[in-house]
Amino acid sequence: MRSLLPILGFALAALALALGGVALVVGQDLRFIVLDNPWWLLTAIIPLLALAVRAGLTPRPPTMQFSRTRSARSLGPGLAARLAHLPDGMRLAAALLLAFALARPQSSRLTDRVEHEGIDIAIALDLSESMEADDLFPNRLEAAKEVIDQFIARRPHDRIGMVAFGAHASTVSPLTVDHGVLRQLVRRLQLGSLDGSKTAIGAGLGLALNRLKESDAATQVLVLLTDGVHNAEGIDPDSAAAEAKERGIAVYTVLIGRHASGQSVDPGRLERIAGLTGGYAYTAEDQQALVTTFQDLLDKLERSTIAGEHVRAELFFLFLWPALLLLLADVLLRSTRLRRFP
């Protein structure tokens, strides 16, 4: 049983070194660490019992007799002999650290309430045939997709949904915070994916309002981007605007492209929709005006605070990594300098 003492000594030294590193990283006293699953600490008993059983079953090493005491003393233990129990100690320390990691240590000092600012936004994009006009580069649709992509990227905390409309309306994405997927969907939008022979602004507004029914945010916004006039059957844009007003949803309209006299365009209706709902009506005749429009829209949109749950910073990895390093060092020592032979 005497062999247990050096093993425990090395284990305690390695454990103290690892815990010192944890305290240094956390930047606080270890007493501020709490355990989410403390019962896992009982697994630390297993390596201790295994070590005790092993020590009890290990036979005493053979002895050598010397005729002179001076000769025996001159053959004192070397460095390898003094460190013979180091791998066992490191293995025991690693097992204890793993037990502590399983108990899910967390920092009580770092407990905080997660909050972020955001609103829910629905975007309705026109996919009618006139969006192929090249007065914006390379055409109206591609220019619109580019500014919408940048808009989404600059609203990281908002839930954003999107619908597209031509002769009828279709959902591109429900409200989501997965902006990576949403931006991919925006980039894939192409003319011809919907019947673009007409412009159903009312249907686009109506479907976008339906997407916002999924929202419980205090602030909800609808952004309508079109280059034409409502000329399809179905929902009347003014009726959709009245519903938006009743629900407290601000509608921001963007009329894109240069329109000569006689072309099918109704800026007055877009201004009426925006004014009724407390939004704003923009006109973007060129690329720079479109970029400026969305920049101004970003500045106008307020942010509402959304509170999350209380959380604690997870610290298990601060015990897991030292354990893995100790096990690696154990393997290296056993296969090199402190290798044992039968």
- Mean pLDDT rounded to a whole number for the chain: 82
Determine contact, residues 8/89, Cβ cutoff 8 Å. yes
Averaged pLDDT, 118-139? 94
- 120 beta partners: 159, 220
Q: Provide the CB-side half-sphere exposure for 328 (13 A, CA).
A: 6
Distance (Å, rounded) from C-alpha 8 to C-alpha 233?
Answer: 84
pTM tops 0.75, yes or no: no
Reply yes or no on whether the pLDDT at 6 is more than 60: yes
Looking at domain 120-302, which CATH architecture does it have?
3-Layer(aba) Sandwich (3.40)
Averaged pLDDT, 83-102? 79
Mean pLDDT is lowest, of 132-141, 146-155, 246-255, 309-318, for 309-318
Within the chain, all domains assigned CATH 3.40.50.410 are found at 120-302
**Which of these, 252, 243, 256, lies nearest to 302 by C-alpha position?**
252
Question: pLDDT tens digits for 201-252?
Answer: 999 999 999 999 989 888 999 999 999 899 999 999 999 999 999 999 999 9
Strand order in the sheet with 159-165: 169-176, 159-165, 120-126, 220-226, 250-256, 281-284
- 253 beta partners: 224, 281
The pLDDT score that the predictor gives to residue 324 is 87
Q: Which two tokens stand for residue 164?
A: 């597209």
Question: pLDDT tens digits for 12-69?
Answer: 777 787 777 777 766 655 666 778 888 888 888 887 787 777 666 555 555 555 555 5
Determine contact, residues 43/99, Cβ cutoff 8 Å. yes
Mean pLDDT is lowest, of 16-20, 288-292, 330-334, 338-342, for 338-342
The pLDDT score that the predictor gives to residue 75 is 47
Strands (E), 187-244: 220-226
Distance (Å, rounded) from C-alpha 289 to C-alpha 280?
Answer: 15
**295-299 long-range contacts, CB within 8 A, separation 24+:** 297/151, 297/223, 297/252, 297/254, 298/151, 298/154, 298/155
**Which of these, 195, 176, 199, 200, lies nearest to 186 by C-alpha position?**
176
The pLDDT score that the predictor gives to residue 341 is 46
Distance (Å, rounded) from C-alpha 153 to C-alpha 160?
Answer: 11
Q: Provide the CB-side half-sphere exposure for 159 (13 A, CA).
A: 18
- Rounded to a whole number of angstroms, the distance between the first and last alpha carbons of the chain is 20
The pLDDT score that the predictor gives to residue 9 is 72
**Which residues have C-beta within 8 Å of that of residue 134, sequence separation ≥ 6?**
140
**Which of these, 339, 255, 248, 241, lies nearest to 293 by C-alpha position?**
255
